[in-house]
């Protein structure tokens, strides 16, 4: 791994030195075929840039990276708050890398392992392939995953299907038989599709109770309060509107709540509303929801990462955090 240079990488990949540099520093500006060819050359040669090789000779870089999509989503903000709190008294600074495309995800996973001065990495809700996993292992970047699991890395997981089931069971226990779902559509390929899993669990529990979930009661759109508001108006326009709506996130549940209030619908007497996440604001608005431990997931991820940095021989751990229904005023 010692003596190969950027010239060797460029020669093997049949590209210019400038292209190699772009792959390492601005990967989203390089087309996928070229990027993969350069990364394959880096992997086969065991290339490490000189500056990074010198940095690796030091005991520690003092930095933990977090790779995350949907950075503006409240659920991700709360997870990051848990990460930041857990690192507050540690010798590590926090570096956040925002993913908004497949190219940026793949580029970061490559460049962070090859060129960035990181002690460890936390990957939030981003699936990645075997090649990226092997690159992280080869270059010795301790990594912990949140909402995604791979055997080689410690992970913090939740059972989204189970979350959909407990939401359905709660609504059924309240006497509801016309249950609708407001969820996500057009999610990018680089992300975890939790809405689909929550819908699958929800449908399963309803069917087990002899309740169908007709297509007309399943409304999918890009995630936002406004889209959820519009989706709810469409559901309430049905000749037989639902008596309960389960939203795939608290953010969408807020849109459902807004539409119901615009229609003068009594909550929860005429319409029960249930979300998923238990955001900070959910308590203030009285939203019944499925709680996942957002801050806790970030905190535990840091604990697992720091434990492996202290003792790399520690076995990887796969921790599933519990889900629970928080009953408030909306259902």
pLDDT in tens, 56-80: 544 455 889 999 987 768 888 999 9
Q: For residue 223, count other CB atoms closer than 10 A to its CB.
A: 22
Per DSSP, 29 falls in state G
Q: Do you know the residue count of the chain?
A: 331
The answer to whether the Cα torsion of 142, 296, 224, 233 is positive or negative is positive
Residues of the chain with CATH 3.40.50.2300: 48-157+297-321, 160-292
CATH class of 48-157+297-321: alpha beta
pLDDT for 110: 81
pLDDT for 177: 96
pLDDT for 56: 52
Superfamily of domain 160-292: Response regulator (3.40.50.2300)
pLDDT in tens, 166-224: 999 999 999 999 999 999 998 888 888 899 999 999 999 999 999 999 999 999 999 99
The pLDDT confidence band at residue 115, using thresholds 50, 70 and 90, is low
The pLDDT confidence band at residue 51, using thresholds 50, 70 and 90, is low
More confident residue, 256 or 62: 256
Per DSSP, 151 falls in state T
pLDDT for 285: 96
Separation between Cα atoms, residue 149 and residue 156, nearest integer Å: 8
Asked whether the predicted pLDDT for residue 103 surpasses 50, the reply is yes
pTM of the model: 0.83
Asked whether the predicted pLDDT for residue 49 surpasses 90, the reply is no
Question: DSSP 3-state assignment of 280?
Answer: helix
Residues 6+ apart with CB under 8 A from 90: 302, 306
- Write the Ramachandran bin of 140: left for phi over 0, alpha for psi from -120 to 50, otherwise beta: left
């Amino acid at each position: 791994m010692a003596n190969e240079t950027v010239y060797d990488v460029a020669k093997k990949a049949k590209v210019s030195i400038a292209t190699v540099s772009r792959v390492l520093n601005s990967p989203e500006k390089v087309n996928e075929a070229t990027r993969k060819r350069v990364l394959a050359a880096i992997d086969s040669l065991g290339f490490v840039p000189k500056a990074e090789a010198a940095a690796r000779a030091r005991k520690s870089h003092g930095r933990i990276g977090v790779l995350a999509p949907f950075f503006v989503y409240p659920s991700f903000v709360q997870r990051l708050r848990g990460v930041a709190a857990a690192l507050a008294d540690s010798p590590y600074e926090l570096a956040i890398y925002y993913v908004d495309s497949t190219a940026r995800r793949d580029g970061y996973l490559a460049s962070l392992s090859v060129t960035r001065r990181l002690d460890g990495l936390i990957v939030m809700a981003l699936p990645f392939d075997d090649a990226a996993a092997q690159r992280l292992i080869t270059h010795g970047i301790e990594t912990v995953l949140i909402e995604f699991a791979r055997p080689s890395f410690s992970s913090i997981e939740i059972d989204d299907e189970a979350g959909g089931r407990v939401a359905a069971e709660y609504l059924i226990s309240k006497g509801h038989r016309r249950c609708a779902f407001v969820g996500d559509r057009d999610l990018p390929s680089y992300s975890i599709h939790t809405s689909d899993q929550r819908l699958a669990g929800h449908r399963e529990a309803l069917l087990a109770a002899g309740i169908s979930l007709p297509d007309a009661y399943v409304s999918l759109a890009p995630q936002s309060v406004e889209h959820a508001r519009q989706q709810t108006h469409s559901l309430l326009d049905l000749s037989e509107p639902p008596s309960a709506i389960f939203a795939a996130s608290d953010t969408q549940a807020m849109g459902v709540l807004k539409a119901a209030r615009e229609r003068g619908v009594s909550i929860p007497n005429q319409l029960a509303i249930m979300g998923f996440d238990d955001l900070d604001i959910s308590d203030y608005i009285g939203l019944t929801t499925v709680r996942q431990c957002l801050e806790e997931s970030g905190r535990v991820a840091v604990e697992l990462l720091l434990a492996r940095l202290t003792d790399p021989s520690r076995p990887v751990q796969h921790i599933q955090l519990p889900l629970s229904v928080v009953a408030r005023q909306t259902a």
